[in-house]
Structure 1
Amino acid sequence: MSRLADKIQDVFNEPGCAANQVKSDKQRKKGCSKPLQPGGAAGGCAFDGAKIALQPIVDVAHLVHGPIACEGSSWDNRGTKSSGSKLYRTGFTTDMGENDVIFGGEKRLFRSIKEIIEKYDPPAVFVYQTCVPAMMGDDIVAVCKVAAEKFGKPCVPIISPGFVGPKNLGNKLAGEAMLDYVIGTQEPEFTTPYDINIIGEYNVAGELWQVKPLLDELGIRILSCLSGDARYHEVAQSHRARAAMMVCSTAMINVARKMEERYGIPYFEGSFYGISDTSESLRQIARLLIARGADAELMDRVEALIAREEAKAFAAIKAYTSRLEGKKVLLITGGVKSWSVVAALQEAGLTIVGTSVKKSTKEDKERLKEMSPDVHQIDDLRPREMYKMLKDAQADIMLSGGRSQFVALKARMPWMDINQERSYAYCGYVGIVEMVRQIDKALSNPIWAQVRSAPPWGEVTWEQRADAANAVDDRKRAIFGPRSARVA
């Protein structure tokens, strides 16, 4: 566990995090949150964070070393898409039982790796440590090393047992595993001055594919995406990129910063949500590439593409503006979406009455404040308060994850999924048009007028319902007698 403790301490001391820069040495050692109790559920553990960060690497076998419930709870919980292999959607687990807890699970883990390689022949096996083997002392690093030598396949240990911290810590520990065991282990067949990495993008609902055609048209090659629609060899070769874009700094700022230190790859944090943010991200990519040797005419091509795509997007949005202008939105999300989605919605004429920043970094909050000083930042909105905001008509629609949808439905208000389980992609110029179209569909759905209207039999109070139920019970007793007599 000493190696894990050292790795966690290294992550807590991340100099790329602005919040760490203002902390004392003692505060940095404590980290950003308290470790979880083994087996405790707190909206995502470190193991869950590591699994969702790396599972979009589509051709790798993702093996969970632990009880079957760990794999069952983490499997496919982020709607990522693949343009090739579907191996990432196969759940592999060692399914540890009582005997493994007593006698150790290392032999079972080795046999599981052997079976996976023989049946599926993946380019690599990622082995995720969970709470039970971590507390038992199973040395999965040693097992992976022996298996890699025995079978001639990379076996990558992901040391992120759930009790060490929350999901964001797991994201970073997954990134550390890539830095230690994968990145820099292979060389690309060729490189160009237009090679980039995209870090912290997971291709949820196929969002990466809404941006990739733009980059292809500009001659910019995505050498590696960590980790949406990625292949193992792409991640292994990512150290030869000329520039990098960080999409979600909360998840993998340590990867971008260490790759800049080790391989000289400059990076910036940007967003592909919204018209203006997409345009600015394309410009920033071009600036970094030109500084690293790309043709200066790249910026001219970027500006021409931006002018064309912005005109098309604004023209498409204009068809919805008359119905959406002035409509109020409550945004319950976090991280980079706390500011990037706000900008996208405002471009469509929508008014943001509040956005949650519970999972956002200090940089996210500051960027939101600069972009939209009038938007109310909500640190923690409880379901009761969320319901009150919707019921009092402070918002016309709520955008959130699936866990909050029932609050909106109870308030008889439209709701739209904006989190990782969503079915629609909202990135780039075509993505913002799709987002506006889905919001318009939700607001215009005739069902809301029906559920808000009084029922044809009139409003019934809870007291009247109770009286009616008691009357039914009285009639049953009059006909059948007391319940005790009927049972006898």
Structure 2
Amino acid sequence: MSSLRAKIQDVFNEPACEQNRGKDARARKKGCSKPLTPGAAAGGCAFDGAKIVLQPITDVAHLIHAPLACEGNSWDNRGAASSGPTLWRTSFTTDLTELDVVMGQGERKLFKAIREIKEAYGPPAIFVYPTCVTALIGDDIEAVCKRAAEKFGLPVVPVNAPGFVGSKNLGNKLAGEALLEHVIGTVEPDDAGPYDINILGEFNLSGEFWLVKPLLDRLGIRVRACIPGDARYLDIASAHRARAAMMVCSTALINLARKMEQRWDIPFFEGSFYGITDTSEALRQISQLLVKKGADPEILGRTEALIAEEEPIAWKKLAAYRPRLEGKRVLLNTGGVKSWSVVHALMEIGIQIVGTSVKKSTVEDKDRIKQILKDDNHIFEQMAARELYAMLSECKADIMLSGGRTQFIALKAKTAWLDINQERQYPYAGYDGMVELVRQIDLAIHNPIWRQVREPAPWDCQPAVREELPSTKSETATLHAVQEFAGTTADDFGEC
């Protein structure tokens, strides 16, 4: 536990973070995220953050050493995609019971689970995750993993990030520490070259990275390791031989990028593949870093040629949507990197941002939003469901981009909605991804269903009274009785 405490303190003192350097010692200990609310850490604890970062390593067995509920359905908590192995989609847990805890059987049960996974699946590595329960009862995860690695002849990596130590963002960084300590640098590749790079913080949601990789392939740039999206264990183990790195839109793995630069002299920058301009700028910066590390300067010319070829094609496709979307108002209820990268991408085609959430965003993310929007009035820390509904029902936005948890607010307000979070079904990165994002926004806003649902329901409309009078006294009496019972008069009847 003392080693875990030292790691957490090291993460909070991250020197690569510009905002962190300006804090005093007391503020630095609090980190970038808000403290957790007791009893409300589900979906936002350190264990969840570590699992999110490491889960998309597709050929690794991810073993949760905890009671069954700790694993739950987190095996697929992000829409990451794989081009090959599917072992990562299998849930493994030691399923500790009260009896195991009382009798001290946790470590023995963990060792047995590692052996069963080795015999049944033969993975290149096994990642072991303790949670609050196993950390509190004092199971020595690192000792068990070390013994199992020696016994079974495969890497068994302890990911020491129990939920109670902090937020999801802290768990992201602790996952990076586990890779640094136990994985990266353990395999020497025999094909290292001057155009090898690492992509950090890219999850390949809905296959997004597959829209960017062909651009890099055309430039002759090889992705040595994409961490973690569609990654393989051996790729990450040999990632220390890359010449440059790009951190995709997130400071979650900034400690990993900084320490790889310190240990193996791999320079990095933070960029985004969302939007036409940001994609082009990211390609330029990758090429410039490679040239600084000894690559042939001719790659700079090839990069500009590629950009000159791809940008006009993308802008031509977007031109068809501009007359339909220019001036449309978008409300972003998301967080993290999407709170600024998507904002910049949408503003490129004339879409107005009426508000963006900065929940789960770091200080750096918030500063970028302020630079892009130049107005703090469109930034909100957290908006309650009632406030979101009021904003949408008053037609202050034409569409809301958010995650699945708030889609029903938009539907209740009869407002168009598009999933922008990890559950999304379409990739939005790169030139083609930007076109797809705009296409989906156009389809959502101009869907004819919204015109229909905004019309009054048939049962809310009173039927029109026929002009001719009732022909008999009995019919007249019946009509008066009905009107009196309903509290209406004949003048109240008419078209809706």
Do the two structures share a fold, i.e. TM-score over 0.5?
yes
Moved more, 145-154 or 338-347: 338-347
Paired residues for 1:442-457 under 5 Å: 442-457=444-459
Classify 1:286/1:69 alpha carbon distance in 2 versus 1 (closer, same or farther; 3 Å).
same
Is this contact kept in 2: 1:176–1:255, CA < 8 A? Answer: yes
Q: 1:293 deviation in Å?
A: 0.7
CA distance in structure 2 between the partners assigned to 1:322 and 1:333 by the alignment: 26
Q: 1:178 deviation in Å?
A: 0.3
Among candidates 404, 407, 415, match of residue 405 of structure 1: 407
CA distance in structure 2 between the partners assigned to 1:114 and 1:248 by the alignment: 38
Is this contact kept in 2: 1:52–1:77, CA < 8 A? Answer: yes
- 2:80 counterpart letter in structure 1: T
Among the aligned pairs, what percent are the same residue?
66
Partner residue, 2:382: 380
Partner residue, 1:20: 20
Partner residue, 2:134: 133
Classify 1:267/1:83 alpha carbon distance in 2 versus 1 (closer, same or farther; 3 Å).
same
Is this contact kept in 2: 1:426–1:434, CA < 8 A? Answer: yes
CA distance in structure 1 between the partners assigned to 2:460 and 2:160 by the alignment: 60
Partner residue, 1:483: none
Moved more, 406-415 or 30-39: 30-39
CA distance in structure 2 between the partners assigned to 1:323 and 1:38 by the alignment: 47
Is this contact kept in 1: 2:335–2:358, CA < 8 A? Answer: yes
Q: 1:6 deviation in Å?
A: 0.9
TM-score (norm 2): 0.90
Classify 1:37/1:159 alpha carbon distance in 2 versus 1 (closer, same or farther; 3 Å).
farther
Q: How many residues align?
A: 461
Q: 1:199 deviation in Å?
A: 0.4
Q: 1:374 deviation in Å?
A: 4.2
Partner residue, 2:267: 266
- 2:206 counterpart letter in structure 1: A
Q: Deviations over 1:296-342 (max 9, x none)?
A: 11111111111111111111111111111111000111111111101
> 3-state DSSP class of the match of 1:23?
coil
Partner residue, 1:236: 237
Is this contact kept in 1: 2:61–2:92, CA < 8 A? Answer: yes
Moved more, 284-293 or 329-338: 329-338
Paired residues for 1:309-320 under 5 Å: 309-320=310-321
Q: 1:251 deviation in Å?
A: 1.2
Q: 1:459 deviation in Å?
A: 5.7
Q: 1:398 deviation in Å?
A: 0.1
> Does structure 1 residue 207 correspond to structure 2 residue 211?
no
Structure 1 or 2, whichever has the larger Rg, is 2
Partner residue, 2:443: 441
- 1:303 counterpart letter in structure 2: E
Partner residue, 1:174: 175
Q: 1:403 deviation in Å?
A: 1.1
Moved more, 42-51 or 172-181: 42-51
Moved more, 425-434 or 398-407: 398-407
> 3-state DSSP class of the match of 1:95?
coil
Is this contact kept in 2: 1:36–1:164, CA < 8 A? Answer: no
Q: 1:18 deviation in Å?
A: 2.2
Is this contact kept in 2: 1:35–1:164, CA < 8 A? Answer: no
> 3-state DSSP class of the match of 1:75?
helix
Q: 1:368 deviation in Å?
A: 2.2
Among candidates 420, 424, 428, match of residue 426 of structure 1: 428
Partner residue, 1:352: 353
Is this contact kept in 2: 1:36–1:166, CA < 8 A? Answer: yes
CA distance in structure 1 between the partners assigned to 2:88 and 2:233 by the alignment: 11
Partner residue, 1:474: none
Is this contact kept in 2: 1:250–1:335, CA < 8 A? Answer: no
CA distance in structure 1 between the partners assigned to 2:366 and 2:163 by the alignment: 27
- 2:99 counterpart letter in structure 1: N
CA RMSD of aligned residues (A): 1.5
Paired residues for 1:23-42 under 5 Å: 23-33=23-33, 36=36, 40-42=40-42
Partner residue, 2:71: 71
CA distance in structure 1 between the partners assigned to 2:98 and 2:228 by the alignment: 35
CA distance in structure 1 between the partners assigned to 2:330 and 2:347 by the alignment: 10
Partner residue, 2:193: 192
Q: Deviations over 1:193-237 (max 9, x none)?
A: 110000000101000100000000000000001100000001110
Q: 1:371 deviation in Å?
A: 2.6
> 3-state DSSP class of the match of 1:137?
coil
CA distance in structure 2 between the partners assigned to 1:37 and 1:454 by the alignment: 43
- 1:81 counterpart letter in structure 2: A
CA distance in structure 2 between the partners assigned to 1:365 and 1:345 by the alignment: 17
Is this contact kept in 2: 1:331–1:355, CA < 8 A? Answer: yes
> 3-state DSSP class of the match of 2:390?
helix
Partner residue, 2:11: 11
Q: 1:40 deviation in Å?
A: 4.4
Structure 1: state its 5+ residue gaps.
461-470, 472-488
Q: Deviations over 1:410-458 (max 9, x none)?
A: 1110110000111110000000000011111111111111111101222
Classify 1:295/1:141 alpha carbon distance in 2 versus 1 (closer, same or farther; 3 Å).
same
CA distance in structure 1 between the partners assigned to 2:40 and 2:259 by the alignment: 32
CA distance in structure 2 between the partners assigned to 1:241 and 1:265 by the alignment: 7
- 1:41 counterpart letter in structure 2: A
Q: Deviations over 1:44-98 (max 9, x none)?
A: 1110110011000000000010011111141201010001100000111101111
